[in-house]
Amino acid sequence: MNKLTVCLMNDSFPPIIDGVSNAVVNYAENIERDWGHAIVATPAYPGADDSRFPFPVIRYPSIDVRQRTTGYMAGIPFSPEVSAHLMRQRVDILHSHCPLASALLGRVLQKRMDAPLIMTYHTKYDIDLANVSRSKAFQQSGIRTIVTNISSYDEVWVVSTGAGENLRSLGYQGDYIVMPNGVDMPHRRADAIKVYQDTAGFDLPEHVPVFLFVGRLNWYKGIRIILDALKMLDRQGCDFRMVFVGNGGDSKEIQSYTKELGLSEKVFFTGTIVARESLRSWYTRADLFLFPSTFDSNGLVVREAAACDLASVLVKDSCAAEGVEDGHNAFLIEENAQSLAALLTELLKDREHIRQTGIHAGEELYLSWENAVIKAIERYNIVLDLYRSGAYEEHDTFSDNLLATQGDMMYTLARIGKALEQGKQVAQTFFGSRESGQRKKKKRS
């Protein structure tokens, strides 16, 4: 396969930690190591340190909306420096992982370079929009923007069939290809000493079952189902420990509800764990991974759990449950606390069944990022051949022309703004030195 230069665009990137950010990092690392050259274009973030990455990270201007969006910056993808830098790199593939600012950047860049556009649809943005604002007009406008952006791309990938069907439900009418994400953890359990060191600060008796959740702490992740089910187990006299790893907009409410249920001595919150080896320790220490989320379109954490031979409890017919076999490599429930409590009650009677199910999960559900990116590279080359042969439809619509014009205007405004700022600094220096000289002259007189 040919070596390629791929520009990966996404609205989130470290220090922001989420599933899509993790996917972009792993795409870039694997491409840079084995398949050519990767460049990441993403919004600027205060305190970001990109020097640790083996590939260049290009930051474009952003607006701070972290209080409204639980930590995310809103990118303004019309930067002359970004466009000029990427054009010098002779990019072969433009691959966006978000249908918002990143998608706009891709559409503007394609006007200036001859490269196909690929979009990966990772998550259910209609739910994200509903969580940002209750305004129906805002949500509908956001959905229209997302569908318009995605429809303007040459090829659309989704991380699961469920994600593709969610995209169709928003009004997208084109085709899509399922390209699942991988896991950046090796397929083996963490070292026992490392596990002990990473989990030692919590009350985890050796023979008491430990349940685990990893992800954003938001109610729509099914967390109320977990807590209500655990309260039912507690009333039955079952001993257990529950560990939540992560942070999110509902963290305080979730911890308050845990205290209200009287579960504080059995339920622990670690906060966000950035170190992947430490996170692997928690997957290794747990007996079951509880993930009753119908929001997630792929459930990357389910594969992370499988990397450590840890079985997951999932909602039947959810995207996270695609391809699993109930009782063999995962456990399925209905989307309610009663169903989860009933399953856990039965499973705790047969811990060996839990262990064997985890082993099957590791054998059958685990997918490394190395293998996931190999599939992507194979498809990149096909897309490039199709693009060069003229197989893709033209997307040169009025809105695209308007978008390119807006980009040109933003470039001009950016240059003017920079010149004005430099002039202001020169003026301040000049007049500041004049005022200082006049004060000194007045003082001498």
User: What are the tens digits of pLDDT across the range 10-30?
Assistant: 999 999 878 899 899 999 999
Paired tokens of 101: 């600012």
SS3 for 236? coil
Question: Model confidence over 356-379: pLDDT tens digits?
Answer: 999 999 999 999 999 999 999 999
DSSP string, 288-300: EEEE--SS-SS-H
Q: Which of 258, 240, 246, 231 is nearest to 204 (CA)?
A: 240
User: What CATH number does domain 192-366 carry, 3.40.50.1110, 3.40.50.2000, 3.30.70.1380, 3.40.630.90?
Assistant: 3.40.50.2000
pLDDT digits (tens, 9 = 90+) for 66-76: 766 556 888 88
Are the CB atoms for 301 and 291 separated by under 8 Å?
Answer: yes
CB 158 within 8 A of CB 297: yes
Which residue from 184, 169, 176 is spatially nearest to 118, judged by alpha carbons? 176
Residue pair 301/226 in contact (Cβ under 8 Å)? The answer is: no
CATH 1.10.1040.10, applies to 4-182+370-395 = no
Whether the CB-CB separation of 60 and 77 falls below 8 Å is answered with yes
Question: What residue segments make up the domains of the chain, in order of their start?
Answer: 4-182+370-395, 192-366
Categorize the per-residue pLDDT at 424 as very low, low, confident or very high, splitting at 50, 70 and 90.
low
Q: Render pLDDT for 379-411 as a digit per residue (tens, 0 to 9).
A: 999 999 999 999 998 765 445 555 544 444 444
Of 253, 257, 258, the C-alpha closest to 243 is 258
DSSP sequence for 171-209 = T--S--EE----BSS-SSPPPHHHHHHHHTTS---TTS-
pLDDT tens readout for residues 290-316: 999 998 877 789 999 999 999 999 999
Two structure tokens written together for 159: 């991380």
CA torsion, points 357, 359, 364, 367, in degrees to nearest 10? Answer: 130
Residues 6+ apart with CB under 8 A from 89: 5, 7, 37, 39
Chain centre distance of CA 255: 24
Per DSSP, 129 falls in state H
| pTM given for the model | 0.79
Report the candidate in 46, 154, 40, 148 with the shortest Cα–Cα distance to residue 104.
148
Which of 38-47, 168-177, 425-434 is predicted least confidently?
425-434
> Do 7 and 92 form a contact (C-beta atoms < 8 A)?
no
CA 362 to chain centre: 23
pLDDT tens digits, one per residue of 308-352:
999 999 999 998 999 999 999 999 999 999 999 999 999 999 999
What is d(CA 95, CA 177) in angstroms, rounded to the nearest whole number? Answer: 14
